[in-house]
Amino acid sequence: MTEHRPIPARSEPVKVPLGKRPLGVFGSLAAGRRNILELIPEIATHAPILSGRTGKRWHMVMDPDALRHILRENVTNYPKSVVTKLILEPAIGDSLFVAEGQEWLWQRRTAAPVFSHRNVAALAPVMSAAAERACARIATGTGRAVNCYDEMVTATFEVISDVTFSDGEGFDRASVHRAIEDYMAQTARVSLLDIIGAPAWVPRPGRLLSGAAMRQMKRVADGSIQRRRAEGNPGVPDLLDLLMAGEDPKSGRKMTTPELRDNLLTFIVAGHETTALTLSWALYLCAFDPAVQAAARAEAQAALGTRAATAADIAALPLIRRIVDETLRLYPPAAFLSRTAQAADTLCGREVLPGDTIILPIYALHRHHALWGRPDSFDPDRFAEPKAVDRYAYLPFGDGPRVCIGANFALQEAVIILATLLARFRFDLVPGKAPKPVMILTLRPEGGVWLTVTPA
Q: Which residue of the set 187, 274, 420, 452 is catalytic?
A: 274
Taking a C-beta distance cutoff of 8 angstroms, is the pair 150, 450 a contact? no
Residue 196: per-residue pLDDT: 46
Question: What is the side-by-side strand order in the sheet with 145-147?
Answer: 145-147, 450-455, 425-429
**What digits encode the pLDDT tens for the residues 153-176?**
999 999 998 898 876 655 666 777
Q: Which residues contact 336 (CB under 8 A, 6 or more apart)?
A: 36, 37, 39, 40, 359, 360, 361, 362, 363, 439
Query: Cα–Cα distances in Å, from 386 out to 83, 325, 382?
Result: 34, 10, 8
User: pLDDT above 70 covers what percent of the chain?
Assistant: 84
pLDDT at 197 over 80: no
Per-residue burial over 413-433, b = 16 or more CB atoms within 10 Å of its CB, e = otherwise: bbbbbbbbbbbbbbbbbeeee
Which is more confident, 56 or 26? 56
Query: Cα–Cα distances in Å, from 255 out to 109, 242, 311, 419?
Result: 12, 11, 30, 37
pLDDT at 206 over 70: no
Q: Which residues contact 201 (CB under 8 A, 6 or more apart)?
A: none
Least confident of 1-15, 210-224, 258-272: 1-15
Half-sphere exposure of 116 (CA within 13 A, CB side): 10
Residue 24: per-residue pLDDT: 61
Q: Is 425 a catalytic residue?
A: no
- Diameter over CA atoms, the chain: 65
Which is more confident, 34 or 101? 101
Pairwise CA distance, residues 14 & 435, whole Å: 7
pLDDT band at residue 29 under the 50/70/90 scheme: low
For residue 161, the tally of other CB atoms under 10 A from its CB is 20
Which is more confident, 12 or 223? 12
Supply angle C-alpha 394, 188, 269, rounded to 5: 65
**What digits encode the pLDDT tens for the residues 256-299?**
999 999 998 888 878 888 999 999 999 999 999 999 999 999 99
pLDDT at 200 over 70: no
Mean pLDDT of the chain: 87
Q: Which helix (H) or strand (E) holds 443?
A: strand 443-446
Which is more confident, 27 or 45? 45
Q: Is 45 a catalytic residue?
A: no
pLDDT at 192 over 80: no
pTM comes to 0.90
**What digits encode the pLDDT tens for the residues 331-356?**
999 898 889 999 999 999 999 999 99
Q: Is 274 a catalytic residue?
A: yes
Residue 4: per-residue pLDDT: 44
193-200 long-range contacts (CB < 8 A, ≥24 apart) are 194/32, 194/82, 194/83, 194/86, 195/25, 195/28, 195/29, 195/32, 195/54, 195/55, 196/25, 196/54, 196/55, 196/56, 197/55, 197/56, 197/357, 200/82, 200/85, 200/86
Q: Which residue of the set 115, 336, 397, 425 is catalytic?
A: 397
Least confident of 73-87, 127-141, 193-207, 318-332: 193-207
pLDDT band at residue 221 under the 50/70/90 scheme: confident
**What digits encode the pLDDT tens for the residues 286-298?**
999 999 999 999 9
**What digits encode the pLDDT tens for the residues 224-264?**
899 899 888 887 789 999 999 999 999 999 999 999 999 98
User: pLDDT above 90 covers what percent of the chain?
Assistant: 62
pLDDT band at residue 184 under the 50/70/90 scheme: low
Which is more confident, 295 or 37? 295
Sign of torsion, CA 401 402 407 408? positive
Mean pLDDT on 382-408: 94
Query: Cα–Cα distances in Å, from 103 out to 108, 253, 270?
Result: 9, 11, 20
Residue 195: per-residue pLDDT: 47
Residue 310: per-residue pLDDT: 98
**What values do phi and psi take at 403, rounded to 5?**
-55, 145
Residue 6: per-residue pLDDT: 46
Helix then strand then coil, in percent of the chain rounded to 5, is 55, 10, 35
**What digits encode the pLDDT tens for the residues 425-446?**
999 999 999 999 998 778 999 9
Q: Which residue of the set 84, 135, 404, 427 is catalytic?
A: 404
